[in-house]
Amino acid sequence: MKCTICKKPAVIKLRHANLKLCPEHLVARVEKVVAETIKKFHMFTPAEKILVAVSGGKDSLALWEILRKLGYRADGAYLDLGIEGYSARSREYSEKFAAARELKLHVVAVEEELGTGIDGLVRVARGKACSLCGTVKRYLLNHVAYEGGYHVLATGHNLDDEAATLLGNVIRWEEGYLARQYPVLPGEGKLVRRAKPLVFLSEREVAAYCVISGIQYIYEECPHAVGARSIALKHVLNKLEDRYPATKLTFLRGFLKVRDRFRPREPVELRDCPICGMPTAAEGPCRFCRLKERVSHGAPA
Ligand code: Q46
Ligand code: ZN
Ligand code: ZN
């Protein structure tokens, strides 16, 4: 197998892009796709301060590396979620990555902010681990970004993640979620802008990028991911992709063309949480503060 561009030995075949690439050209393609995505969706400029949500996995570490190489000013934020058999190792990978490159990494322990980690929260509060974890992550990452004066919070969602989320939203015709699914979401007040610069890169490309670039990342999945709906959706899309290359890309690109037909049902009005002062759509305390209260009482509510 030869590289489509330089004819040297290729290490990866990307059927969806009709390319076979050598290490050098895979790295060049990945960085070019990210650079173009950032510009096309006006995600941020080199003058702005970026905070990368770092998990220790391949996507977020690749994103941080790419932004750095493209000349953006990017720091990292790692949330220690307090998940047994996972958090300690993912923290190690994140800290090693940052230290080796002399990059600034904010480390926030969920247990210190909430009174317990995600494992403990699952025991106390009703609801699924990933839904509770999602609330905690959104809140704390936004908090770090806002307090740190960052212009944008960048996450490592890739094409596989985005297509699976889209399929999940389409299956349930979640119009409100569809209206908000976009590579960049503007900031508003204390809500910091969010950007997903990897949405047009497949998981395989990102993994190959890490291996070629010598980025060490945690391979294991979070134990709570087992049985998650998102994994089943990815599985279905992989089957389709095997048979019809570029399914995921076509699905996402097609959606982005028609997305403005979807409107949130009611315009969401944000107010300040009376406890923490951060924005919330809820009447009274925000979801994070309500979870914190439940944890402090130590009993299911
Ligand atoms: S960390 Fe949290 Fe994920 Fe684990 S509990 Fe679910 S959402 S699976 S990306
Ligand atoms: Zn090549
Ligand atoms: Zn609050």
The span from the first CA to the last CA of the chain, in angstroms, equals: 59
Residue extents of the structural domains in the chain: 23-270
Q: Which of the listed CATH numbers 3.50.50.60, 3.30.460.20, 3.90.1530.10, 3.40.50.620 matches domain 23-270?
A: 3.40.50.620
Cβ-based neighbours of 294, under 8 Å, separated by 6 or more: 124, 125, 300, 301
Comparing CA positions, the residue from 58, 276, 86, 261 lying closest to residue 160 is: 58
The closest residue, in CA terms, to atom 8 on ligand 1 is 225
CA 133 to ligand 1: nearest atom: 2
Nearest ligand, CA of residue 229?
1
Cα 42 to Cα 38, 156, 185: the distances in Å are 6, 17, 10
Using a 10 angstrom Cβ sphere, with 0-12 exposed, 13-18 middle and 19 or more buried, the burial of residue 98 is buried
Per-residue pLDDT of the chain (301 residues; tens, 9 = 90+): 999 999 999 999 999 999 999 999 999 999 999 999 999 999 999 999 999 999 999 999 999 999 999 999 999 999 999 999 999 999 999 999 999 999 999 999 999 999 999 999 999 987 889 999 999 999 999 999 999 999 999 999 999 999 999 999 999 999 999 999 999 999 999 999 999 999 999 999 999 999 999 999 999 989 999 888 999 999 999 999 999 999 999 999 999 999 999 987 676 788 999 999 999 988 999 999 999 999 998 755 4
Q: Is 62 in the pocket of ligand 1 (CB under 6 A)?
A: no
Nearest ligand, CA of residue 142?
3
Q: Is 240 in the pocket of ligand 1 (CB under 6 A)?
A: no
